[in-house]
Amino acid sequence: MSQLTFPEKTIFICDGSKCSKHKELRKIFKESIKNYGLKDTVEIVKIECTDRCKHAPVMCFQPQNKWLTDVSMWEADKIFKEMVLD
């Protein structure tokens, strides 16, 4: 039997038709993970449509179970620091 290791934190990002138009957010979060050296600690996972298209983009931060909607790319750095680094 082999043992898998999982990251301490996960960012789930909706990849439905409206949310996927905000690819820059996923890119910003990926760059932040790389810049802070958190590749083994934080993972980004694309999820199916959350059916909350009016509030795109939708994302969830675990283990906090914090759901965010209507996130702009200008907020991404602040959100990353609050949700991942704190």
Work out the number of other CB atoms within 10 angstroms of the CB of residue 13.
Answer: 21
Which mean pLDDT values do the consecutive 10-residue runs of the chain (86 residues) have? 88 95 94 96 96 96 97 95 92
pLDDT at 4: 83
Prediction pTM value:
0.91
Q: Looking at beta carbons, which pairs linking 78-84 to residues 24 or more positions away fall under 8 Å?
A: 80/28, 80/29, 80/32, 83/9, 83/11, 84/9, 84/11, 84/32, 84/33, 84/36, 84/38, 84/42
pLDDT at 1: 79
